Structure 1
Amino acid sequence: MNADLKHSALAHLPSGVFMAIAAWLVLTTIAFNLSRESQRPIRISSM
């Protein structure tokens, strides 16, 4: 995960403002996790 993030969105981190960097990191991580989750097959269990 870290290598993927470092070579994509984290390579474009804004600099100078801590809150901007923190927000960018949170949003990047959320987007990364959503993109990975959307690639997983859906399991439907029967009751």
Structure 2
Amino acid sequence: MKMEKMIQKKAYELGYEKCGIIPVNMLDGYREKIEERIRKVPESEQFFV
């Protein structure tokens, strides 16, 4: 099973109604939001680098 499908399947198991995966370059402002998240929750950095 491809990683994308595994993530989607787990998201549905956890109760999410929708889950999709797109290339990061399609997310305007993504970097700024991630940097903000890391500042607020420093222990989350390991998931974004």
Q: TM-score normalised to the size of structure 1?
A: 0.31
Larger Rg: 1
Q: TM-score normalised to the size of structure 2?
A: 0.30
Greater RCO, 1 or 2 (C-alpha within 8 Å, sep 6+): 1
